[in-house]
Amino acid sequence: ENHGVPMRDVAPLRPQRPILFVHAAYHNASCWVNILLYCASQGINAFAMSLRQHDQKFKSKHSKGGARFHSLADYRKDVEKVVNYLITVRRFQPPVLVGHSFGGVVLLNYISHAQNEISLPQLILVACIKPSIRWFIRLMFRIYGVLGWSGLLLCMKSKTLLASPSIFSSLLLDGTGYSSKDNTAENEARIVESIWKHEVANGTWSPFALFEAMIHGVGFENGKEIIASVFTIWPENDLFVTEIDKANMHSWLGIGMDRDSEKYTLNSGTSHDVMLHPSWPKFAYSLLSIAAPFLQPSASSQK
């Protein structure tokens, strides 16, 4: 634990620039374990952090007052602590940042405040949208279409949107998944339940931070370039993201037709929680292909 911020890391003793992963709501650092191990197998320094109160294994001073009232600024400060730790204590260069869903929103807020103090090389946003009231309303209708009124009400009443393994699978794993010739539906259900218990069953987060982002924004102007390289990755079958949301996000980030190469869609039945989906190796390979040019050590780090 780093200054009250839980972390997971797989860091070979090499001079390359690291990657820092930030999870989505109701998740924690351990959701990146497959990706961290893949990075290690490629000799890449990889770290994942848990935003305050998302990782129930850690008892933090930030837990006082309840997660439902943490602000976007609170989460931004968690990222700031970890980035500063990597640079000042671990002596790495500023990391490539990867944010999944709401974790991407947190990173955008962090970058908007840190851009004048630190030169961050690249931001990769995975299934991340521009928070807005219209997006939220569209999402509620889509969740209703999948779960019906009873499922939607169960989610609203639960402390977590993902109130059961079946809801978790339907919303974030596209209801698919770990089935194969050697894997029965019963085994698949056990796998999904295990992931649900480990990742989201006891996790909490702050809806206040999301509504704050929807109403007040995350801290930078529409279309203003705040970092040299911004790349978006879109899972193919994502209940949380529509083509409208993608277009709004690209416009917001200033990614137009001239930067079309910085928009990437994953196929092969990928879903919102792509790092937990059976197709995660394709995601890991694509992610490192995108980040590779920014991970090489600078001349000064090799002296």
Task: Give the chain's residues under pLDDT 70.
Answer: 1-15, 53-68, 158-161, 174-188, 200-205, 220-226, 228, 255-264, 266-269, 297-303
**Reading across the β-sheet that carries 263-271, which strands appear in turn?**
7-10, 46-49, 19-22, 96-100, 122-126, 229-237, 263-271
Do residues 49 and 79 make contact, with C-beta atoms less than 8 angstroms apart?
yes
Return the pLDDT at 201.
64
Mean pLDDT of the chain: 78
Which residues are CB-contacts of 163 (< 8 A; sequence separation ≥ 6)? 154, 155, 157
Do residues 19 and 295 make contact, with C-beta atoms less than 8 angstroms apart?
yes
Instruction: Compute the distance between CA of residue 271 and CA of residue 136 in angstroms, rounded to an integer.
Output: 19
CA distance to 16, 17, 70, 185, 284, per residue, from 85 (Å): 16, 14, 22, 44, 25
From start to end of 198-262, where are the E strands?
Answer: 229-237
Strand partners of residue 2? 5
Strand partners of residue 264? 233
Return the pLDDT at 280.
87
Return the pLDDT at 27.
87
Return the pLDDT at 56.
52
Do residues 272 and 177 make contact, with C-beta atoms less than 8 angstroms apart?
no
pTM: 0.84
For the segment 140-160, what is each residue's pLDDT rounded down to a tens digit? Answer: 888 888 888 887 777 777 666
Return the pLDDT at 169.
79
Strand partners of residue 97? 20, 123
For the segment 77-87, what is each residue's pLDDT rounded down to a tens digit? Answer: 999 999 999 99
Return the pLDDT at 14.
52
Cβ-based neighbour number of residue 212 at 10 Å: 18
Return the pLDDT at 217.
84
For the segment 24-55, what is each residue's pLDDT rounded down to a tens digit? Answer: 988 888 889 999 999 999 989 999 999 886 55
Return the pLDDT at 63.
46
Q: Quick one: what percent of the chain has pLDDT higher than 70?
A: 72
Return the pLDDT at 59.
45
Report how far Cα 12 is from the mean position of its chain's Cα atoms. Answer: 23
Burial class (CB in 10 A: 0-12, 13-18, 19+), 242: middle
Work out whether strand 7-10 and strand 46-49 pair parallel, antiparallel, or are unpaired.
antiparallel
